[in-house]
Amino acid sequence: MLNELTKTESSPRSSTGRGMLIVVSSPSGGGKGTLIDRVLKTVPGVRYSVSYTTRAPRGSEENSREYFFVDEPAFREMIEQGEFLEWANVYGHLYGTSSAQVERERAAGRDIILEIDVQGAESIRDKVADSVSIFILPPSFELLRERLVTRGTDSAADLERRLKGAPGEVAQYKDFDFVILNDDINRASQQLASVIYAERARRERQEVSLSDALEDFRVTEPRAIASGTDTQA
């Protein structure tokens, strides 16, 4: 098994039709950001959805890279204007996903990945039927606590709130399409990439890219392959 994912040289998927909406969630400190970073570097044709938030930047975070940092009045105005595909209040801060960015990337045939909390993931599942939802499960509560403490970006009160909310967030794993145990970063990042590749291979996602080959075999509908119907003239 490879220890690191290797990026294959390939052009974006604009020829395959509409891109996927990939939702990745975990409790705070679950490691979803690290896994997503690896996938963005190794899987071609995937873009990252930069969310809006009212919280202050942490550490080396930069505006428009990790998040668009806005104040609450500006965020509320965006809600009123219907600019968010989803938004949620998470531990006292507002987070939202831009509808325009998601639609722009998907229309161009690129897959777009969202790093959001379980509230946002639920909202996306309700609104976008063909979204792919993936839950990143920390291997233990103690390791989650250690990661949050080591991160050092939360006040004692915020840390306590996040730890208190973690069991309830983990309990929602069953609502996701896929669950990845983040006990080994190399294996987990490979598994996340594998989910994306497998979802790309679904028949219904490939109707545009398969059309020339199917037409050459005089197959006009992909379902004929699965049913074994003889469609030759």
Tell me the DSSP string of 88-102.
Answer: EEETTEEEEEEHHHH
Contact yes or no for 63/30 (Cβ under 8 A): no
Residues 88, 90: Cα–Cα separation, whole Å: 6
Residue 206 phi, psi dihedral angles, 5° rounding: -115, 15
Each domain of the chain, given as residue ranges in start order, spans 15-49+109-201
pLDDT digits (tens, 9 = 90+) for 124-172: 999 999 999 999 999 999 999 999 998 877 788 888 999 999 999 999 9
- Tokens (6 digits) for 50: 């930069």
Residues 192, 176: Cα–Cα separation, whole Å: 14
CA 189 to chain centre: 13
pLDDT grade for 221, boundaries at 50, 70 and 90: low
What is the average pLDDT across 199-211?
87
Please report, as a single letter, which amino acid is at residue 70: V
Q: How does 168-203 read in b/e, with b if 16+ C-beta sit within 10 Å?
A: ebbeeeeebebebebeeeeebbbbbbebbeebbeee
pLDDT grade for 6, boundaries at 50, 70 and 90: very low
- Tokens (6 digits) for 10: 């390939």
- Tokens (6 digits) for 197: 């590749």
pLDDT grade for 114, boundaries at 50, 70 and 90: very high
* 178 vs 12: which has the higher pLDDT: 178
Q: What is the pLDDT of residue 205?
A: 87
Residue 112 phi, psi dihedral angles, 5° rounding: -125, 135
**Could you tell me the end-to-end alpha-carbon distance of the chain, in angstroms, rounded to an integer?**
47
What is the average pLDDT across 221-230?
49
Q: What is the pLDDT of residue 223?
A: 53
Q: What is the pLDDT of residue 91?
A: 86
pLDDT digits (tens, 9 = 90+) for 52-111: 999 999 888 999 999 999 999 999 999 999 999 999 998 889 999 999 999 999 999 999
Please report, as a single letter, which amino acid is at residue 15: S
Residues 122, 118: Cα–Cα separation, whole Å: 6
Neighbour tally for 2: CB within 10 Å: 7
What is the average pLDDT across 172-188?
97
Class (C level, CATH) for 15-49+109-201: alpha beta
* Half-sphere exposure in the Cβ direction for 180 (13 Å, CA): 27
Contact yes or no for 87/97 (Cβ under 8 A): yes
Residues 216, 89: Cα–Cα separation, whole Å: 52
Q: What is the pLDDT of residue 208?
A: 81
| DSSP per position, 61-76 | --BTTTEEE--HHHHH
